[in-house]
Structure 1
């Protein structure tokens, strides 16, 4: 169970700057992690158990979810 002194406000990465184009997250009262879009605050959210969120963050930190380089993306022909 989450501690009562854990803030439940939305948090987003400091890397997002002032644009606000970022995911945001917060802890729920039952200690899960809720994730949403900072541009659509009234939009849908996803909720993850703490162990799944921790595994995802560790995977991102290890580079498994790095954005591909522009050279690695397939070319697209305009319509």
Structure 2
């Protein structure tokens, strides 16, 4: 499991983010969006309920997550 210590990204950074819908999102509304923030952190949010906010990850944690998904362990 990949854990990230509590880190608050300024709300203004999330508001200015350029979000992209995941290419792995299906047609069943199970969609997520990803953004690389100005700080270099990565953010992920639920497309259908953006009011829930976003989870953010540092570059190392993001690389580990992507490697785990590509390797089939997630």
TM-score range, shorter chain: 0.5 to 0.7
Across the two proteins, how many residue pairs are aligned to each other?
A: 58
Which protein is richer in helix relative to its size? 2
Which residue matches 1:63?
72
Provide Cα deviations, 1:23-49, integer angstroms capped at 9, x if missing partner: 211011111001110111222211100
When the two chains are superposed, the root-mean-square deviation of aligned CA atoms in Å is: 1.6
Which residue matches 1:44?
53
* Cα distance in structure 2, aligned partners of 1:61 and 1:23: 17
Q: Which moved more, 1:38-47 or 1:12-21?
A: 12-21
- Using the size of structure 2 for normalisation, the TM-score is 0.66
Alignment of 1:2-13 (within 5 A): 8-13=17-22
Alignment of 1:27-38 (within 5 A): 27-38=36-47
Distance apart, 1:14 and its partner CA: 2.2
- Any stretches of 5+ residues in structure 2 without a counterpart? 1-16
